[in-house]
Structure 1
Amino acid sequence: MRHYSIHNIIFNSHHCTTLNPKKIPPLFPFPFSHKLKLFTTTTTTSDSESEPNSFVVSYLINTIGFPRETALKASKRLRFNSPEKPNSVFTFFKNHGFSDSNIRNIFIKEPWLLSSDTHNLILPKFQFFLSKGASPSDISRLLSVSPRILQSSLENRIIPLFEFYKRFLKSDKATICYMIRYSIPLSYNLTMVNMKLMIDYGVCDSSIARLLLTRPTILGSNDFINTLEEVKGLGFDPLTTTFGIALVAKKSLSKTLWDDKVAVFKKWGWSDEDVVRAFRVQPFLMLASIDKINLVMSFWVNQLGWNSLALTKRPQMFCISLERRIIPRALVLQYLQMKGLWRKNASLVTPFSLSEKLFLSKFVVGFKDESDYLLKLYEEKMNLAYTKEKNTDMKITK
């Protein structure tokens, strides 16, 4: 089973490079842009004079770059008759490393900020994130995606939420990065409800963390409690990591698709009980596509002539590469069987779980008289698999 490192998943992902110190701009990197000049007069344009709150409308359009309809809508909630207040808010963001485009996007999403008290309402939140290791560019990215954070209470919402997610992500930096990457909503949302349900069910923190990092949308789904009950009813222990994987499988598949996959296994000789037992051993089993299940079964049964029930003992076989692992190794084993060099009562599936080095040592090099042929057979199939993958990748990139 592949183990996930929180640090690796967050900091190596191309989706989230926000904490790379080489890419962090200085705190006050930009002079005022000539493209976005601040108002220095209360004169309004003739186009806006006929509109209500004409100064506000004119300021939003000509200074910030609001679309006209957006400016008209926002003007109904803003009250200023001179540029001093909105200019000061703009300057505050500019002095904290925000680009013109970031400021524009933030104000378009949350126009109320133009009338906000930056010293008492916004600055403490900036200071909190800075104290947690966020850089100015991190804060800029976070607020560009989720500027509504600034409307939330620091003490009653932001800090408790931050500490809640940190429980699973383990570090301040990882939590900051996660908030930027997934735009965590600060309202009491389904994700938090479902995470608390998992805690109540006794699901281990590492399983919850894995879901947060790899399948966050599942945590925001409805009827989560029913899935928890179903997975628990299938015999999974909430304290094990496989419980979280089983949750992913059950929430990722519709009942129809689940039943279709069960039907495919039964077509190849498995019973309903075989499917459940195999799923308990390897929950990723049910995430394999129907095509992959059929390909593995067809090769195993039709080409090798082996019993499909052997695969119930190691359902991981449906999660590994057919071309790069199953076929090359199976042909080596089939040859050894044909030559009477491999015990008939030996496990058919165990050799597929070995590392390549150990497999070659035991089943290729270990048979000195046959090793040259076996190695040639193995390498031919491996080279064919890599060539096939390379050609597939080239087709995809074209």
Structure 2
Amino acid sequence: MFHSKHHSLTRALLFFLGHTPPLPSPSTKSYLLLLRPQARRHSTTSTPDDHHSFTVSYLTTKCGFSHEDALRANKRVRFDTPVKPDSVISFFEAHGFSLSQITTIMCKIPVVLTRDPIKAILPKFQFLASKGASPSDIVLMTTRSPNFLLRSLNHIVSFYELVRRFSPSDLKAIAYLTGCPSSIADVRVAQNVKMLLDEGLTNANIHHLLRTRPSVLSSADLKKTVEEVKQLGFDPSQSYFSVVLLTKRAVTKSRWDAKVHVLKKWGWSEQDFSEAYRRHPQFMLRSEDKLNAVMSFWISNLGWDSSAFRIRPMLFGYSLEKRLIPRAKVVKYLLSNGLMKKNASIITPFSLTEELFLKRCITCFEEKDRSRLLTLYQGGC
């Protein structure tokens, strides 16, 4: 039976092998390929990518874009002739921009390649120059943040006038724009300035923000920080409010809480912290490790009261190795040998300049003590 089935299978295979259909002729094969879905897609006259391949080619060959950057830019800008982009590139070259700087600008705002540079860009450069911006200033601010080129001239003029209101001169206002050009196109700056004025900040406070950390005026949550600083007991109308505001912005909540925890570990109360912060808010810019190391040295090594740092929190900013430890050796010697006046503060020597410290704490004593003090101060035992 098995032999019979095997014989039948063999005959079936021979039948199919003997009746294999002929291969299609070349013309028939080509026709069949055209009927495939993939081939039909390519049979159309053009695609969006084909239509805008000129843009990609131009950006890679003329502007130095990578292929990936060119494809990304192609989603934001498209052109079919080189006339406008050529005129834009020539304009930037004529105004002192290098090819790499031009490429940087095009990567950030490729749409500028479709603008008329004489109408859309030149008046903005001329306005900035009229206020004292040098050619290098204009190149710098445009390369760093070219988005302002997409704003109207009226917007730029209004923004400049806002900055100038809080600056002592045109040159100072231009320095702000050069230092933070991204703010020119940012509508939040004007909104935040208005909010700060409404909160009671003085012109001097706002000038301080512009001069030291202008980017803070572009913050989306600046009002929240203002409220937090007010809750710490600071008056917005006081001259130091901007300093406090900047330190609060510079430290995240988690880092802030960690630093407060370190100070409380060494015996500080909330009131101690608030007093120190009002006296010198910058001390909260020190790391937790620095705060802990200074407190450990002062309390554990020297056995002194931590209230010194509540009164003079700027001591946290001094180097342990270069100032606090050497001067502590001198102060301890003076105390143990009765060389300090009865009511003299042990804090004062740490905040003196080098010249005054040597004069008041070392060289004013007799030779024997002077020699010993100098040895201690210079690292001896």
* TM-score normalised by structure 2 residue count: 0.77
Counterpart code for 2:248: K
Are positions 1:284 and 2:253 aligned together?
Answer: no
Are positions 1:375 and 2:374 aligned together?
Answer: yes
Stretch of structure 1 that moved more, 288-297 or 179-188: 179-188
| Map of 1:104 onto structure 2 | 103
Q: Distance in 2 between matches of 1:327 and 1:76?
A: 62
Q: Distance in 1 between matches of 2:178 and 2:60?
A: 29
1:304 to 280, 292, 302: 302
Q: Distance in 2 between matches of 1:264 and 1:76?
A: 52
Counterpart code for 2:105: I
Which one has the largest radius of gyration? 2
SS in 1 for 2:137: helix
CA contact (8 A) 1:60 1:71 kept: yes
Aligned length: 335
Q: Distance in 2 between matches of 1:315 and 1:349?
A: 11
Q: How does 1:187-266 map to 2 (within 5 A)?
A: 187-266=185-264
Change (3 A) 1:109 1:224: closer
Which aligned runs of 4 or more in structure 1 are off by greater than 6 angstroms?
47-50
Q: Distance in 2 between matches of 1:56 and 1:255?
A: 47
Q: Deviations over 1:198-229 (max 9, x none)?
A: 22222233433333344444444343223222
| Map of 1:173 onto structure 2 | 171
Change (3 A) 1:277 1:160: same
Q: Which structure's residues are more often helix, by fraction?
A: 2
SS in 2 for 1:133: coil
Q: Deviations over 1:265-305 (max 9, x none)?
A: 22222222111111111112222222222222222222222
| Map of 1:151 onto structure 2 | 150
Deviation at 1:159, TM superposition (A): 0.9
SS in 2 for 1:375: helix
CA contact (8 A) 2:164 2:173 kept: yes
Q: Distance in 2 between matches of 1:200 and 1:287?
A: 28
| Map of 1:125 onto structure 2 | 124
Change (3 A) 1:72 1:350: closer
| Map of 2:90 onto structure 1 | 91
Q: Pairwise CA RMSD of aligned residues? A: 3.0
Deviation at 1:68, TM superposition (A): 4.1
SS in 1 for 2:366: coil
SS in 1 for 2:62: helix
Q: Distance in 2 between matches of 1:292 and 1:55?
A: 59
Deviation at 1:169, TM superposition (A): 4.1
Q: Distance in 2 between matches of 1:49 and 1:292?
A: 60
| Map of 1:273 onto structure 2 | 271
Q: Distance in 2 between matches of 1:105 and 1:311?
A: 49
| Map of 1:36 onto structure 2 | none
Q: Deviations over 1:86-140 (max 9, x none)?
A: 3333322222222222233333433333332222222211211221222333322
Q: Distance in 2 between matches of 1:216 and 1:90?
A: 31
Counterpart code for 2:61: N
Are positions 1:62 and 2:61 aligned together?
Answer: yes
Q: Distance in 1 between matches of 2:284 and 2:353?
A: 24
Q: Which ranges of structure 2 fall in alignment gaps of 5 or more residues?
A: 1-45
Q: Distance in 1 between matches of 2:377 and 2:211?
A: 37
* TM-score normalised by structure 1 residue count: 0.74
Q: Distance in 2 between matches of 1:329 and 1:59?
A: 67
Counterpart code for 2:196: M
Q: Distance in 2 between matches of 1:272 and 1:201?
A: 26
CA contact (8 A) 2:291 2:316 kept: yes
Deviation at 1:374, TM superposition (A): 1.2
CA contact (8 A) 1:48 1:58 kept: no
Q: How does 1:71-90 map to 2 (within 5 A)?
A: 71=70, 81-90=80-89
Percent sequence identity over matched residues? Answer: 46
Q: Distance in 2 between matches of 1:131 and 1:174?
A: 14
Q: Deviations over 1:39-97 (max 9, x none)?
A: xxxxxxxx999810454444334333344455456557767654444333332222222
Deviation at 1:340, TM superposition (A): 1.4
CA contact (8 A) 1:48 1:54 kept: no
